[in-house]
A and B are shown apart, each in its own frame.
Chain A
Amino acid sequence: MNYSTLLIALLIALGAAYFLGRNRARSLAGQGESMHSLPTHYGALTALWTTLPPLLILIMWVMLEPRIVDALLTMQLPEAIRTASEAEVRLALSKVHNIASDPSMMGQSELGSVAAHLVDLEQRAAILKGGVILSLILLGVAVTWRRIQPDLRARGEVERIVRVMLFSSSAIAVLTTLGILVSVLFEAVLFFQKVSPIEFLFGTTWSPQVALRADQSGSSGSFGAVPLFAGTLLISAIAMFIAVPVGLMAAIYLSEYATSRVRQLAKPALEVLAGIPTVVYGFFAALTVAPFIRGVGESVGLDVSSESALAAGLVMGIMIIPFVSSLSDDVINAVPQSLRDGSYGLGATRSETVRQVVIPAALPGIVGAVMLAVSRAIGETMIVAMAAGLAANLTANPLDSVTTVTVQIVTLLVGDQEFDSPKTLAAFALGLVLFIVTLVLNFVAIKIVQKYREQYD
């Protein structure tokens, strides 16, 4: 039985168990018994006990089956492969899986017998799986059916179970953070066993190509990430140079000057910019903005790279404008009207009020907004992956090609991945740096914004 059949079986069981439990409670009540809870509670209780345990078992099964099957298959592999490197065992296993999925290849390979074993194993696992799940369903129905008695406190039990389910759902958010941290940390530690953290954080040469064979000369790979950090900062700085003034002024104009009609039209229109997928911006940057900047540069005699940091930064700035403007709009609107009225009363003009009263009062919130925008710029991937270069130049010239942390993560992980080579692991080390930096930025920014909001509430 495959997983979709089992899931459908579970759904049917869910409905059937609900009606069984409810009808049992009703018939008991019809016999003159005074039940503790409503019939629907008994139905829900039966449904929960019938489907939850098999569902949990099924999830565990999905996670464990491939590993157990692979472990069993490894023992069947020819001695020569088994004693060779781990990579070869993995290669052989994936071959076995390929052969098993295409019966015509069965006889053509020495691994054919192992593949036959795999087919056999899978069949047995499917039968076992179906058996276990079905018996759990039946057991759940039978046990709960017997438990349905007038004094069974079904409602309390159902609500306790539902509460646990609600709690586990919200725990997933925490588990996600832990998952990111653990997965990135684990691979990063492996990386730092091969490359020292000092070299990684302070080295100035980045060329992650590792020699395929030990006797190859030349490229042993060097992992100094400073050019990447510098490139990321350069592009983010260009982006912020566009986004902060434009976004802030747009927010001030829309909240302090614009008529409500203009505001109603312009605000959503600006927010459309935030809803456009980043891959579209990347395409725009690479195919329109970059050639345009190059053309302008050439016409004034400047040597502009076709993957200039300026193009990527400019487009990223455009993308971040609505982000800055809507966050600043919120904080500017949170400044109490009494402050403005006080300033007008003293004879200040509107712009003086904005500059000398509203902005200083909203400053912490604006700083928070800018920090969130910076964290977004640092983590932005598609624009730079499409418009920025791959060459790790250590330069502050915006017309040059630079590369960023996110571009390198993408390049290192797209394509063949070997989890024992520093090349692949380096992506996780970069990911760790990225995660920590953005986490700290976000954390501080959110704290600032929250604290500021409370101040005027």
Chain B
Amino acid sequence: MTDSTMTTRQKVEASMRRRRAAETRFRLYGMASVLFGLLCLVVLFGDIFSKGTSAFSQTVLTTTIEIDGDYLDITPDSSESDIMSANYDGLIKRHFKNDVQPKGRSEARSLFSLISSGAGWQIQSQVLEDPSIIGKTVTVDLLVDDDVDQWFKHEYGNDSGSVRLSEKQLEWITSWIDSDALKTQFNTTFFVNGDSREPELAGIRGAITGTLLTLLVTFLLSFPIGVAAAIYLEEFAPKNRLTEIVEININNLAAVPSITFGLLGLAIFINIFGVSRSTPLVGGLVLTLMTLPTIIISGRAAIKAVPPSIREAALGLGASKMQTVFHHVLPLAMPGMLTGTIIGMAQALGETAPLLMIGMIAFVVDVPGFINDPSTVLPVQIFLWSDSPERAFTERTSGAIMVLLGFLIIMNTAAVMLRRRLERRW
């Protein structure tokens, strides 16, 4: 087909077909990109949720056990320390030995390994709460070991045996299931315990408390400093070289890798100022420096949005510059500043890398009480657990991630709602 055989109209129509096809392709690429992004989001959330929802239930073994005062060597009138130090583990072992009748030592050992090592504590705390049960027979829900928990929650009914449990162990478990003794209940341990080496005893309360304390320090420092810096840069700073440097600096700091803030915290706060490691205090200080740029930048945008007429009116009525800013501009800019602060705090909540540098990665069992107690935070707890090979820890990691995402969703919704409700257009 040569040019001479085609009319102009045909040529245009041929090219139009090509161009329209290109148009559709381009449009599809765009749509595919958006869909790919959304798909990633769905897969990510789906993956976490499918792994993590089972973390909120825990298998327990219901059993009636005699709190034998003679064996434990305590009476209802014994002192608290005597009750604390009695041998509850032994009591539980004796109870199951009589109950199941294992043959020989190794079988007994494999029987005891089905029950969580925290079962003794459970009995102990019940006795401490109500010493009058000593000598009586009580019904308790004992935590089982994580291998049993995982098998019961995920593999029971699949006929697929188990890698971690022996034939004999499965036989005992099945007899418990047949007598309705084994059941799952809401996993309160996960929310009331600190970290532990045993998955069935590990909880996120310590990490959540640490996170809250760290964020408290961050908020108390970064909000006033950020607002003050935004006010200065927007309202008072002379337009000179120095101000320009400060501005460039803040924009750059907002994009510096968070891990360098950890290096700063380690070298300056810990090594030079001697703040103690792994505390919410030093964590809060590092996160303050990290969130400040976010707060300053959004604070400046909020101040900029206040129309100059308001300033002029105040100045015209005889207010000083300072009075104008603090009585008129700042209250009007506050919603925007608060929104920026919440977003900054949400960033700080999810931050992990700088906190690893300053020792918040330590294994902390106790729930921290104050800002200078050793503690860890939720994201670091997730990092620590994700390293553990036990399947129960993978499940708990996903559970902890769900809690973390829950907090983030709450904070971001709060920010959006605050912006919607208080936003003013002039």
- A residues lining the B interface (CB < 8 Å): 62-63, 66-67, 155, 158-159, 162-163, 165-167, 169-174, 176-177, 179-180, 183-184, 186-187, 245-250, 252-254, 256-258, 266, 269-270, 272-273, 275-284, 286-288, 318, 321-322, 325, 349-352, 354-355, 372, 375-376, 378-382, 385-386, 406, 409-410, 413-414, 417, 419, 427-428, 431, 434-435, 438-439, 442-443, 446
Which one of B137-145, B191-199, B253-261, B307-315 contacts A? B253-261
Q: Which residue of B lies closest to A351 (CB)?
A: B26
Q: Top 7 closest A-B pairs, CB basis?
A: A379-B257, A253-B30, A277-B350, A183-B267, A169-B228, A351-B26, A66-B274
Within 8 A of A (CB), among B234-286: 236-237, 245-246, 248-253, 255-264, 266-268, 271, 273-274
27 sample A-B contacts, Cβ–Cβ < 8 Å, listed by A number: A166-B232, A169-B224, A169-B226, A173-B293, A174-B245, A187-B267, A250-B37, A253-B30, A253-B31, A253-B34, A273-B41, A277-B379, A277-B404, A278-B350, A279-B382, A281-B44, A322-B37, A349-B23, A350-B26, A376-B255, A381-B352, A382-B383, A406-B353, A410-B357, A428-B263, A435-B256, A446-B248
Given A174-B246, A272-B41 in contact, is the A413-B266 Cβ separation under 8 Å?
yes
A173 close to B296 (CB less than 8 A): yes
State whether A379 touches B256 (Cβ < 8 A). yes
A270 near B34 with CB under 8 A, answer: yes
Residue of B nearest to A435 (CB): B260
Contact B252 A431 (CB under 8 A): no
**Judging by beta carbons under 8 Å apart, are B382 and A434 in contact?**
no
Asked whether, in the complex, the Cβ of B386 is within 8 Å of the Cβ of A250, the reply is: no
Tell me the bound Cα distance from A284 to B44 in angstroms. 7
Nearest B residue to A382 via CB reads B352
CA–CA, A351 and B262, complex, Å: 46
CB distance from B367 to the nearest CB of A (A): 19
Q: Smallest distance from the beta carbon of A354 to chain B beta carbons, Å? A: 7
B322 at the interface (CB under 8 A from A): yes
B386 near A287 with CB under 8 A, answer yes
**A166-B229 in contact given A67-B274, A269-B38, A351-B22 (Cβ < 8 Å):** yes
Complex-state Cα separation, A174 to B228, whole angstroms: 14
- B379 near A279 with CB under 8 A, answer yes
Which residue of B44, B233, B261 is within 8 Å of A170 (Cβ)?
B233
Min CB distance A376 to B, Å, is 7
A249 proximity list for chain B (CB < 8 A)? 29-30, 32-33
How many angstroms from the CA of A66 to the CA of B19 in the assembled complex?
A: 74
Q: Is A410's CB under 8 angstroms from B259's CB?
A: yes
Residues of B near A438 (CB, < 8 A) are 255-257, 260
Tell whether, in the assembled complex, residue B356 and residue A414 are in contact, meaning their CB atoms are under 8 Å apart. Answer: yes
A279 & B350 in contact (Cβ 8 Å cutoff): yes
Q: Please tell me which one of the listed residues B47, B245, B264, B401 contacts residue A176 in the complex, with CB atoms under 8 A apart.
A: B264
Contacts of A286 in B (CB 8 A): 386
Q: Which residues of B contact A376 (CB under 8 A)?
A: 255, 257
| B37 with A270: CB separation less than 8 A | yes
B366 at the interface (CB under 8 A from A): no
- Given A275-B412, A277-B379, A431-B263: A283 in contact with B397 (beta carbons within 8 A): yes
Interface contact A179-B232, CB-CB below 8 Å? no
- Please name all residues of chain A whose beta carbon is closer than 8 Å to the beta carbon of B350 when the two chains form the complex: 275-280
User: Taking A176-B253, A275-B346, A349-B19 as contacts, is the C-beta distance between A382 and B353 under 8 angstroms?
Assistant: yes
What's the nearest-Cβ distance from chain A to residue B212, in Å? 16
- Nearest-neighbour CB distance to chain A for B363, whole angstroms, equals 12
A282-B383, A379-B258 in contact; A410/B30 too (CB < 8 A)? Answer: no
Selected contact of B23 from candidates A177, A183, A350, A435, CB within 8 Å: A350
By the criterion CB–CB under 8 Å, are A250 and B263 in contact?
Answer: no
Q: Tell me the nearest residue of chain A to B402, going by C-beta.
A: A280
On whether A409 and B263 interact (CB within 8 A), knowing A177-B253, A246-B33, the answer reads yes
Q: How far is the CA of A300 from the CA of B161 in the complex (A)?
A: 30
A386 in contact with B252 (CB, 8 Å)? no
Please give the residue numbers on chain B whose beta carbons come within 8 Å of chain A beta carbons, in ascending order: 19-20, 22-23, 25-27, 29-34, 36-38, 40-41, 44, 47-48, 51, 224-226, 228-229, 231-233, 236-237, 245-246, 248-253, 255-264, 266-268, 271, 273-274, 289, 292-293, 296, 320-322, 346, 349-353, 356-357, 361, 379-380, 382-383, 386, 394, 397-398, 401, 404-405, 408, 412
**A409 to chain B: closest CB distance in Å?**
6
A177 touches B408 (CB 8 A): no
Bound complex: CA of A351 vs CA of B19, how far in Å?
9
B48, B250, B262, B412: which contacts A284 (Cβ < 8 A)? B48
Which of A166, A179, A414 is close to B361, meaning CB atoms less than 8 Å apart?
Answer: A414
CA distance A311 to B104 in the complex (A): 49
Closest to A318 in B: B40
The answer for the CA separation of A381 and B352 in the assembled complex, in Å, is 9
Contact B356 A180 (CB under 8 A): no
B248: contacting residue among A165, A272, A372, A443, CB under 8 A: A443
Task: Among A257, A276, A325, A419, point to the contact of B405 (Cβ < 8 A).
Answer: A276
Say yes or no: B259 contacts A381, CB within 8 Å. Answer: yes
| Distance between Cα atoms of A281 and B224 in the complex (Å) | 32
B357 CB → nearest A CB, Å: 5
Residues of A within 8 A of B33 (CB): 245-250, 253
How many whole Å from A283's CB to the nearest CB in chain B? 5
- In the bound assembly, the distance between CA atoms of A414 and B383 in angstroms comes to 13
- With A169-B232, A279-B352 already in contact, the answer to whether A253 and B27 are too (CB < 8 A) is yes
A106 CB, nearest partner CB in chain B, Å: 21
Task: Please give, as numbers and ranges, the residues of chain B lying within 8 Å of A318 by CB-CB distance.
Answer: 37, 40, 44
Contacts of B48 in A (CB 8 A): 280, 283-284
Q: A170-B228, A252-B30, A406-B257 are in contact. Are A446 and B252 (CB under 8 A)?
A: yes
Query: Is the beta-carbon distance between B382 and A176 smaller than 8 angstroms?
Result: no
Q: How far is the CA of A171 from the CA of B404 in the complex (A)?
A: 33
Taking a contact as CB atoms closer than 8 A, the residue among A183, A380, A446 that contacts B251 in the complex is A446
| Bound-complex Cα distance A332 to B34 (A) | 16
The residues of A that contact B237 with a CB separation of less than 8 Å are 170
Partner of B273, one of A63, A287, A427: A63
Whole-angstrom distance from the CB of A51 to the nearest CB of chain B? Answer: 14
A163, A282, A379: the one within 8 Å of B236 (CB): A163
Q: How far is the CA of A380 from the CA of B354 in the complex (A)?
A: 11
Residues of A within 8 A of B224 (CB): 169
